[in-house]
Chain A
Amino acid sequence: MPGFLLQRAGQALITILGVATLIFFVQRLTGDPTYLLVPETATRADIDALRHALGFDRPLFIQYLDFLADLARFDLGQSVVQRVPVTTIIASRLPYTLMLAAGALTVACGMGVPIGILLAVFRDRAVAKIAAGFVLAAQSMPTFWSGILMIMVFSVLLGWLPPSSTGDIWNLVMPSFALGLLSMATFARITRSALLDELSKDYARTARSRGARMPRLLLRHIARNASIPLITVAALEISNLLAGAVIVETVFAWPGLGQVTVQAILARDFMIVQGVVLMGAFVTVALNLLSDVLYSVVDPRILLDGAR
């Protein structure tokens, strides 16, 4: 077990190094990143002073090593506009994004998994076809459009839900649905295909032929095996939800990381954008690692194969 986990953790570290390198070089696509940080009205002297202060006039390799050293100390730099460490800004906004992601994941799993079961169990019946249509529609709907439609219907027309900002649980309802519907479609599709896969296997057929009814078959025999692809999807979807939050937070004026990123882009406060992207990537790598660990808990055979 430790060997398997160490190997996966090592791979995750290499990926994180790769991600940091990629972000560092993306920043330098236009040559000098100083221009990303200064207002359009800045004078030549201002630009030179900032370039020197941030060390952008040093050799590229030295800057790269410095960047990595800062990251290793969890130092994401300072916001040029607000003059506050980026980690402080992220820490103040992160709870809102996590709250939104949790709401969206609840919607995605809470609707997606039952719909997926429906699609697999009632395969060619009308109810499955209607559910399939719903899944396809959810998959094709831009989050910013569904968000706007929800505001129009539930806030403007019916007055049931608050249109934006935070407050109580009611403020979370519409953003969670807007963000969660797309992932719901993914959960439904994966649940369906995982169940169909398992239902066609010998052990499931044997259980059925011995008289096991569908609910018992699903719960006792299939659930554990079918949950493996779902764990992968959950890990991927959580990181997608964090990324999708950028748009949904803009629609609903939700004060999370997405909103702060968009504001930072408009204010040319590049350090915040970079910090949020790096954090998003690290969270994704960490979630993938976590899903690897969870696999081995759900299916010990994976552990044995990995350790070999």
Chain B
Amino acid sequence: MSAVASPRPHPRQGFGLRRWWPLAIVALVVLAAIFAPWLAPYDPNQQNLIGRLKPPGTVSRAFHYWLGSDELGRDVLSRIIYGSRVSLVVAFASVILSGTVGTTLGMIAAYRRGWTETVVMRVVDVFLSIPAVLLAIITVAVLGPSLVNVILVLALTRWPRYARIAYSQTLSVATMPYVRLAALMGAGATRVLFRHVLPNIIGAVSVVATLEFGLMVLFEAGLSFLGLGVQPPTASWGSMLSTGRNYVATAWWVATLPGLCLFVLVLAVNLTGDAVRDRLDPRFR
């Protein structure tokens, strides 16, 4: 028996041209991250101490600093291009990880009910009552800062969001006749959940995931800004902002430009998230 598909949106509710530009920006950043070695004019960690803190457009030795140089004479443009990798990898991986764990636990809690439901949803409440930034900070402080740890920490702090939405959606889907019928016909819990329930709740989950993606980009940058993210010399937009903060009076470009990239990416992701939500859930229009 196949799952019943979610109702198709009306054709006019699709993505208009106006809705495409945010997605185009996200695609651009993804392409920049993938092709960083070919796109970046220089090695992001190559220093040129003669050319420290040069403004955009300066030529110093063999370097042409299109977007200026930082405190070690490294090319800001190259570091921004490479920095996008950290933002995207952390956001993708943490969203996938927390989304998978949270959705699975939420579905199980709603389907099994009883003590499973009580335990899972109490744990969700506990996690949601600790501000995510603080939980992330204490966990990174324990595990030590690194790319993998940042991903794990963000997944650890964010899975309850998915669990809650998956739980509430599953509660209503699980009472549908086709789900009950599948169970009566002998389908096991795993088959019922993943073949019949999941396809019907994935829309709501993906709305949360898109909005979470932007938040994860900001979280990673925030942790790197505090020195708890990816460690130097690896380029990350958050750590670039952190060092650039010391030169606001003399070299505006060091902090401003990575911040601008961060802002534009998160704005584009949020707009895409809004578009996905409008498409999947017309009540929000």
Write the residues of chain A forming the contact surface with B, with a CB cutoff of 8 angstroms. Answer: 14-15, 18-19, 21-23, 26-27, 29-30, 33, 36, 136-137, 139-145, 148-149, 151-152, 156, 239-240, 242-244, 246-247, 250-251, 261-262, 265-266, 270, 273-274, 276-277, 280-281, 284-285, 288
Contacts and interface: CB of A to CB of B under 8 A. Distances in A.
B133 A246 contact: yes
Given A19-B129, A246-B137, A274-B138, A262 B226 contact: yes
B142 A36 contact: yes
Contacts of B238: 144
Contacts of B270: 136, 139-140
Interface string B225-244: 11110000000001001101
Given A18-B122, A270-B142, A281-B134, 19 more contacts: A15-B125, A22-B127, A137-B263, A140-B266, A142-B221, A142-B241, A148-B255, A152-B248, A239-B131, A243-B131, A243-B134, A244-B133, A246-B133, A246-B137, A247-B226, A265-B141, A274-B138, A277-B134, A280-B131
A21 B249 CA distance: 46
Given A30-B143, A148-B244, A152-B256, A140 B133 contact: no
A15 B127 CA distance: 9
A222 B266 CA distance: 34
A242 B127 CA distance: 16
A29 B141 contact: no
A89 B133 CA distance: 21
Given A244-B133, A280-B130, A142 B262 contact: yes
The 4 closest A-B pairs by CB, nearest first: A243-B131, A145-B259, A18-B126, A140-B267
A30 B144 CA distance: 10
A120 to B, nearest CB: 14
Given A148-B244, A152-B252, A288 B129 contact: yes
A15 B126 CA distance: 5
Q: Is the interface of B mostly helix, strand, loop or mixed?
A: helix
28 contacts: A14-B122, A15-B122, A15-B125, A18-B123, A18-B126, A19-B130, A22-B127, A23-B138, A136-B274, A140-B214, A140-B266, A140-B267, A141-B266, A144-B225, A145-B241, A145-B263, A148-B244, A148-B245, A149-B256, A239-B131, A240-B131, A250-B225, A270-B141, A276-B134, A277-B138, A280-B131, A281-B129, A281-B131
Given A240-B131, A280-B134, A284-B131, A149 B259 contact: yes
Given A140-B214, A148-B245, A285-B129, A30 B226 contact: no
Interface residues of B, number: 46
A14 B122 CA distance: 9
Interface centre among B122, B141, B244, B271 (most CB of A within 10 A): B141
Nearest to A269: B141
Contacts of A18: 122-123, 125-126
A54 to B, nearest CB: 15
Contacts of A285: 129
Contacts of B142: 26-27, 29-30, 33, 36, 270
A98 to B, nearest CB: 15
B182 interface: no
A140 B263 contact: yes
A262 B84 CA distance: 25
B203 interface: no
A53 to B, nearest CB: 20
A261 B137 contact: yes
A143 to B, nearest CB: 8
B143 A29 contact: yes
B41 interface: no
B68 to A, nearest CB: 15
A137 B225 CA distance: 20
